[in-house]
């Protein structure tokens, strides 16, 4: 009995063939979503920012990472997305400050495309960190509460909560005072609706992939003893955390 207890307390070595790709995909979706946030679009009579159309995929990917590999790895993915997005934006701002050549070029047009609205970028970063943390936290907690059952229900609830948080924080910080209050509320509701619909459409894919990953990787982490501090980079689990 003591030997079994000792074995369960041993560190869990995760050698995944897919976790790196999920983290990379998550980071790339974050960069694309953030880049297109300033562009407003109108779809079926609904006005929203272009980043809203792809941002829900970050929730789907973080759902997968949290459900299979645990909150700690989802948290690492969140910080990877944040870091690479900041590098992408910072490098763009550095480039447009460099001198232009003497002969004609397309630099002026390129510089215009790279110009960023600092308010929109800051709003995007804050809403991203908060909503993604809320989403992964909700997935991990619901999984424990429901003992791993009702995956679809857990994914939907966590994504809807996180979508609402993201839509409110981003829209208020980015556009408050620049658009009328009715338009601001309409924008929040539209963003929330579009994100929720996209997440629901992608639900069968995320549930199926989560199930397959658990079988292939023999990993199914429960964050019963996890510290949910967003600023911790710890990714250590023990064997007893894995139900796979």
Q: Other CB atoms closer than 10 Å to residue 40's CB: what's the count? A: 13
pLDDT of 1 > 60? The answer is no
Residue at token pair 């509320």: 185
Dihedral over Cα of 76, 79, 81, 83: its sign: negative
**pLDDT tens per residue, range 159-173:** 999 999 999 998 899
Q: What are phi and psi of 89, to 5 degrees?
A: -70, -45
The residue-averaged pLDDT of 76-88 equals 92
The residue-averaged pLDDT of 55-66 equals 92
pTM assigned to the model: 0.87
Q: Quick one: pLDDT at residue 112?
A: 76
What contacts 150, CB < 8 A, 6 or more positions away?
none
The residue-averaged pLDDT of 12-40 equals 86
- Cα separation, 244 vs 239, in Å, equals 10
The residue with greater pLDDT, 101 or 8, is 101
Q: What is the largest CA-CA distance in the chain?
A: 79
What average pLDDT does the structure give for the chain? 87
Residue 186: band (very low, low, confident or very high) from pLDDT cuts 50, 70, 90: confident
Q: Quick one: pLDDT at residue 104?
A: 66
> What domains can you pick out in the chain, each with its CATH number?
18-94+107-222 (1.10.1760)
- Cα separation, 162 vs 153, in Å, equals 14
The residue with greater pLDDT, 175 or 68, is 68
Start-to-end C-alpha separation, the chain: 21
The residue-averaged pLDDT of 188-201 equals 88
**pLDDT tens per residue, range 115-145:** 766 777 788 889 999 999 999 999 999 999 9
Q: Quick one: pLDDT at residue 13?
A: 81
Q: Quick one: pLDDT at residue 2?
A: 45
Instruction: Tell me how far CA of residue 213 lies from CA of 8, 137, 154, in angstroms.
Output: 22, 20, 18
Q: In percent, how much of the chain has pLDDT > 90?
A: 46
**pLDDT tens per residue, range 202-224:** 889 999 999 999 999 999 999 99
The contacts found for 174-178 with CB under 8 angstroms, 24 or more apart, are 174/37, 174/117, 174/119, 174/120, 174/123, 174/124
């Amino acid at each position: 009995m003591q030997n079994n207890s000792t074995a369960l307390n041993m560190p869990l070595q995760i050698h995944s063939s897919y976790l790196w790709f999920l983290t990379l995909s998550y980071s790339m979706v974050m960069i694309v979503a953030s880049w297109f946030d300033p562009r407003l679009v109108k779809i079926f009579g609904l006005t929203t920012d272009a980043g809203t159309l792809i941002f829900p995929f970050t929730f789907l990917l973080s759902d997968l990472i949290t459900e299979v590999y645990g909150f700690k790895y989802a948290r690492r993915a969140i910080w990877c997305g944040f870091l690479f997005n900041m590098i992408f934006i910072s490098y763009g701002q550095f480039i447009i400050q460099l001198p232009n050549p003497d002969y004609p070029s397309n630099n002026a047009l390129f510089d215009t495309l790279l110009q960023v609205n600092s308010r929109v970028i800051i709003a995007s970063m804050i809403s991203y960190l908060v909503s993604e943390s809320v989403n992964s936290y909700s997935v991990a907690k619901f999984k424990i509460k429901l003992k791993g059952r009702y995956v679809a229900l857990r994914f939907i609830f966590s994504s809807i909560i996180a979508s609402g948080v993201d839509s409110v924080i981003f829209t208020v910080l980015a556009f408050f005072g620049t658009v009328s209050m009715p338009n601001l509320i309409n924008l929040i509701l539209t963003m929330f609706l579009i994100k929720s619909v996209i997440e629901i459409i992608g639900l069968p894919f995320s549930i199926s992939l989560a199930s397959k990953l658990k079988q292939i990787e023999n990993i199914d982490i429960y964050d019963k003893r996890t510290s949910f501090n967003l600023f911790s980079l710890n990714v250590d689990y023990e064997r007893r955390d894995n139900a796979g």
